[in-house]
Amino acid sequence: MCSYCGCRSIGIIGRFSTEHDELINVTGLLRRAVAAGRTDEVAGLVDDVEHLLHPHTDAEEVGLFAVLRRDEDFTEHVDALCGEHVDLDGLLARIRAGETELVDRFDTELRSHIQREENGLFPASLTTLGGAEWEEVDELTAAASPVSPLSSP
């Protein structure tokens, strides 16, 4: 995860980055359960991933992404990231349905997605958004979802 530009000091970016860390950790538990053949744990771990993923992606899309999308320099990139959110949801649904061989692909795609946000979009947002826009991001995000149930404020 990114730590070089200071974007984690922006409250909402710090929150999203912490949630990314949590998603990677829970996905690791899911991968290990699948690898060890502990199928009785898979559904619960998929639940854990979903309980982190859905509020997180919803908050990104209605807050930061919505504000950045207004800038034509970001529209295509934000749209691609939103498409990746849909793809991740689809993979997770297939894993839940029994296609556990997809867990490594889910992990790879999740990590790639997070890298694109952490090392691309988040740092770029620092130089693009002004104070009023950050206030709007905070307001839109707060209205969308509370802090992730597994994160510590």
DSSP state letter for 97? T
| pTM reported for the whole predicted model | 0.86
Distance CA 45, CA 99 (A): 14
User: Which of 21-52 are b and which e, b meaning 16 or more Cβ less than 10 Å from the residue's Cβ?
Assistant: ebbeebbeebbebbeeeeeebbeebbebbeeb
Read off the pLDDT of residues 11-25 as tens digits, 9 standing for 90 and up.
788 899 999 999 999
129 in Cβ contact with 137 (< 8 Å): yes
> Using N-to-C axis directions, what is the helix angle for 39-62 and 72-96, rounded to 10°?
160
Read off the pLDDT of residues 140-150 as tens digits, 9 standing for 90 and up.
998 876 554 44
